Amino acid sequence: MDENNHTETWQQSLRAVLDALNQTLHGAVPCPGQAAARPTHGGRNDNAYMYILFVMTLFAATVGSLILGYTRSRKVDKRSDPYHVYIKNRVSMI
């Protein structure tokens, strides 16, 4: 019975901490040390994540096209390669 009481106390403490964290994250309660009259400059950097995403997408497309072009150029069987011409002529003679 005593252990059940400790569990309820622990759950109540955890619930209180989670509620306080939730209120802080949603802006209902300011964080300690944060001035209430401090102006926010959120408007200037509202779309900064979109710019970062755009630049990363361009970089990924560039690197992907370079890798794809390199692997395709290595796979292409060059018909005009002298070695392949020699083998082709040699096999047809036999």
Residue 11 pLDDT > 60? yes
Domain ranges of the chain: 45-93
What is the tens place of the pLDDT at every residue in 24-74? 777 766 556 655 555 555 667 778 889 999 999 999 999 999 999 988 877
**Both tokens assigned to 49:** 């994540």
pLDDT band at 1 (very low <50, low <70, confident <90, very high): very low
- For the chain, percent helix, then strand, then coil, each to nearest 5? 70, 0, 30
Any residues with CB less than 8 A from the CB of 23 and at least 6 apart, and which?
29
| 13 vs 3, residue with greater confidence | 13
**Both tokens assigned to 87:** 């083998």
Give residue 14's pLDDT: 83
